[in-house]
Structure formats: C-alpha cells, structure tokens
Amino acid sequence: MIEFSFKIEVLDRVGLLSSKHVIARYEARGHRFEILVKPDLALKVKEGGEVDVDEMLVGDYVYKDIRRGFKASPEVLREVFGTDDIRVVALEIVKRGELQLTAEQRRAIIEAKKKQVINFIARNAIDPKTKLPIPPKRIELALQQARVSIDPYRSVEVQAREVISRISRIIPIKIAKAILQVITPPQYSGRIYRQLSGLGEVKKSRWRSDGSLEIELEIPAGMQKEVIDKINKFTRGSASIKVLFVG
C-alpha cells in the first residue's frame, strides 16, 4: 500500500494528474481498469483513428484505482484482455471505456469538435438552389437555431452528416461534388498531375497535341474557390479552369 500511495503522490507532484490528462476507465467481469491518457489522442482512438500508444499513455501501469495507486495484476489483465501487454490493454480500455473529462476539458473539446464539424460541412456542402458554398458563419447560426448538440466522442464526418440533416429544415443545404476541367500549359503539365491529385480525384486526363494537359478533377463542392486558387497559384494564373458540374 505504501509503495502504491508513494507512486501516485509522485504523479501528483510531477504534474501528471493535471488538467492536461484524463483517466480512461473500463469495467468488465467485476473488475475496474484505469489508465492516465492525453485526451486529444484518446478521443482520436475512440473515433477509430490510429495513434502512437506510447504517446497517448501517461505512465506505465494499468490501475484498478489510479487515485489510490492500486495497480491491476497481470493475472487479471490476462483474464479480461487475454494479454498483460499495456499497449494492447490501453487501446481496449480507451475504445470500450469512458474518459473522465473535467467540465473544462469537455467544453474545450466540444468547441473544437464543433469547429471541425462546421468546417467539414463548409467544405463538402452547397446551397442546392444557388450551387454555391455556404459560409461557415451561416452554418454555425443554423446549428444554433436547430439546437444541435455536439458529441465529443463521435467522429466529425458522422456528426456532420447528421447536422446537415437537422439544419436542412432551416437553410437549403446538401452534400455535393464538383467537377472541374483544368487545362494546364506545357510548362506546368509535367508536374501538375500529382499536385491536382492531392486536391481531389482525377476522373479523366489526356495530353493535347500542343503538350498541354487536360484533367477533369472531382472535388467536394464547397472547396471550389480554395481549389481554383491553388491551381492558379501552381500555374501562376495560366491554367484554364471551368466548372463542368456541381451536384
């Protein structure tokens, strides 16, 4: 008991039990398991993303009561998780369990997630009447009017699609794609393909007899201006760009 208490006191003194870290807790088969993690990386895991587990973890132990310093035994870890490898166990605790966020952490994470959701919608959606992108501020106001709550644990894309369904009763909006026809002069054609493929999906491409390159590029409809600006920057304004389709 003294050894465990000493270790947890050391954690407190060096600042590991701070507002920058949270406890991830999981209960199974009558046992409780706790680890200390960085909340941003743990949330990424809960959304299905991949992280460096060593970077996510704070400390080297799995506890049954982290604040009292009581560690879970290797035997119990093997019984519940099939292994006592802390990296494997930590991922399972985060995926299956709950993050013990403080009110301040929860507010900050929800605000950051809301901005990501709004940005995703602005990049991928349009006003179906005008075929134009919708400004982020307008999306945010519609979100407030619809009284939409953002879940800190769920993925941005899944929530964004649900938000679009909710705010479509307030503003005309839908997810859409745009297809651009891009013709680049010969001096840029040799290196433009890779740059364009990083902006969207190349649907067609062909070399013209004069050495210019013609490409049809599919992009999220809300990104039209951003992509056109980047193409103009790549080609110093010499490319011919035409919007073939939005919908």
pLDDT by residue for the chain (247 residues), tens only, comes to: 323 333 433 344 334 445 588 999 999 999 999 999 998 899 889 888 899 999 999 988 999 999 899 999 999 999 999 999 999 999 999 999 999 888 888 898 899 999 999 999 999 999 999 999 999 999 999 999 999 999 988 889 999 999 999 999 999 999 999 999 999 999 998 888 889 989 999 999 999 999 999 999 999 999 999 999 999 999 999 999 999 999 8
71 in the same domain as 18: yes
Range of the domain at 42: 2-100
The structure tokens listed for 148 are 């939409």
Q: What is the pLDDT of residue 19?
A: 56
147 in the same domain as 127: yes
Q: What is the pLDDT of residue 10?
A: 37
165 in the same domain as 229: no
Euclidean distance between CA atoms 11 and 23, whole angstroms: 13
Number of structural domains, the chain?
3
User: Which of 100, 133, 160 is the endpoint of a domain?
Assistant: 100
Model confidence, pTM? 0.72
207 in the same domain as 132: no
User: Which of 76, 100, 124 is the endpoint of a domain?
Assistant: 100
User: Which of 100, 125, 142 is the endpoint of a domain?
Assistant: 100
193 in the same domain as 117: no
96 in the same domain as 121: no
Report the CATH number that the domain containing residue 78 is assigned in CATH.
3.30.1250.10
**Residue whose pair of structure tokens reads 């709950």 in the numeric block:** 98
134 in the same domain as 68: no
Sign, CA dihedral 27-33-39-41, equals negative
Report the CATH number that the domain containing residue 162 is assigned in CATH.
1.10.10.900
131 in the same domain as 92: no
The structure tokens listed for 24 are 């991830």
165 in the same domain as 131: yes
Euclidean distance between CA atoms 131 and 119, whole angstroms: 18
Report the CATH number that the domain containing residue 211 is assigned in CATH.
3.30.70.240
CA angle 99–100–102, rounded 5-degree value: 125
